[in-house]
Chain A
Amino acid sequence: MQVKTHHETEAIVLRTYDYGDYDRVVRLFTRHFGKIAGMAKGARNSRRRFPGTLEPWCLSRVSFIQTTPEKLVFLERCEPIDYFSELRRDPVKTMYAARIGEMVDTFSPERKKNEELFDTFSCFLSMLNEKGAEEASLIGFEMRVLACVGYAPALDRCLSCQKGVEEGKSFFFVAEVGGIKCDQCISPRDSSPIRVNRGTIKALLFTITCPIDKIGRMRLTFRSLKEGRLLVDTFIRHLLGRNLRTARVLEQMEPR
């Protein structure tokens, strides 16, 4: 006999897919259950149970029924907490929200609770909703998401000689080894090393360890922005074996 269990939790919509003529399949990142996929019956023609709450990045309190753990849950209702409406009024904000949303979706396994990642994601959406879209904070939150899922690159010391960041001026990021090497340890055998200055490394390290609300206040020089973007993109490409879907759109959008 199937046992139905009823649950309630906070959730952020990652994305939705139309199913049949009336239904929607929704992928959610929840506070207590991690990433789940749910069926929202009648969501396309009735807004009573899901009043605008199935739009990407909407934060709501969801009720759902679970039958078997590996199957889709059935969404009963979603009570809105924050629509983050400003994210839809500025294409750059839409782009940035999509970027972090895709990272959360891609790097988090199904049904694995990760409250730190949930708080990071909701804090980012809230900050983006209230303030301007800054590429420095986007890079900072990308680093933080990687840290939350256990993929933070090792940036605190040279992975070969263990020399600390404070002891050198210039380092090279090598995606294959997942961290940095100093200018004395880098060798021609290291594929596609990226030169990164100490200032950039320290700023990126800060995003991993600082309180979440401080990431949004981070400022980067033009050089550090370029280096940080290249480092994060290269590392993600190495981890996934492909670019994120949002990568080419990010290239099309000029940062303000």
Chain B
Amino acid sequence: MKTYPQPLQKLIKELARFPGIGEKTAARLANFILHESEEEAKSLAFAIIEVKEKIKLCRICYNLAEGPICSVCADAKRDRGVICVVEDPDSLMAIEETNDFNGVYHVLHGSFSPLDGVGPEDLRLKELLTRVEEGPVKEVIVATHPTTQGEATAVLIGKSLKEKGVKVTRIALGVPVGGDLRYMDRLTLGKALSFRRSVDEG
């Protein structure tokens, strides 16, 4: 890398900070940017600056927002009695794409992960409790990832909301649509059995 001119070295170093990007990939990206037109390179640089300047966190649900509140919280048609708790904005986007949920969200921005030094106080749990206490909330759906951290976070939320008089549910875990029971692992199948529901419920 030392043979590259100084400005290119600097760009490679910056790009190599990105998750999953090593020095070689960073060098390839930097060379791509170098061979782009000045206009295209400026457009990329402005896009990065614009993201940092304009994207904030929604003051209600902590989703990404262009203004003080996000598009979901600003939507008057949404059912504010149902809050879906997710770990990150990506999970929120995934649920939104289903078009099956008409409630609002709460983004924790992480999960309970002692291995990473992330404890209950590092998540936006207090803010969730405040929302439940203040608002007309009937149900909290916990949609954290089905991982060790996600499961522990779900239990943590359940315990925190136990005495708040609100229904706390967990998204179903188990057999995927189109799956084959013969090929399911016993953990997934066990989850599917414990999350079973009456066939009348559809």
Contact = CB atoms under 8 A, between A and B. Distances in A.
Contact of B115 (A56, A80, A85, A87): A56
B91 interface: no
Nearest to B114: A98
A54 to B, nearest CB: 10
A87 B186 CA distance: 17
B75 interface: no
A102 B119 CA distance: 15
Interface of A: 15, 18-20, 47-48, 51-53, 55-57, 80, 83, 85, 87-91, 94-95, 98-99, 101-102, 245-246, 248-250, 252-253
Interface residues of B, number: 26
B155 interface: yes
Contacts of A248: 117, 119
A248 B119 CA distance: 8
Residue from A52, A53, A85, A250 whose CB has the most chain B CB atoms within 10 Å = A52
B152 A91 contact: yes
B187 interface: yes
Most buried by A among B115, B159, B184, B187: B115
Given A51-B186, A52-B185, A91-B155, A246 B148 contact: no
Given A52-B187, A91-B112, A253 B120 contact: yes
Given A88-B148, A94-B152, A51 B119 contact: no
B202 interface: no
B115 A57 contact: no
Contact of A98 (B115, B121, B187): B115
Nearest to A102: B115
Given A88-B148, A246-B115, 20 more contacts: A20-B20, A51-B184, A51-B186, A51-B187, A52-B185, A56-B115, A80-B186, A80-B187, A85-B187, A85-B190, A89-B155, A91-B112, A101-B115, A102-B115, A245-B115, A249-B114, A249-B117, A249-B118, A253-B119, A253-B120
A252 B117 CA distance: 10
Interface of A is mostly: mixed
Nearest to A246: B114
A162 B68 CA distance: 67
A35 B120 CA distance: 29
Contact of B120 (A57, A98, A246, A252): A252
B188 A47 contact: yes
B155 A55 contact: no
Given A56-B115, A94-B114, A99-B114, A51 B151 contact: no
B172 interface: no
5 closest residue pairs by CB, A with B: A51-B185, A98-B114, A249-B119, A252-B119, A52-B187
A85 B113 CA distance: 16
Contact of A51 (B117, B118, B121, B188): B188
A15 B184 CA distance: 23
Contacts of B120: 91, 252-253
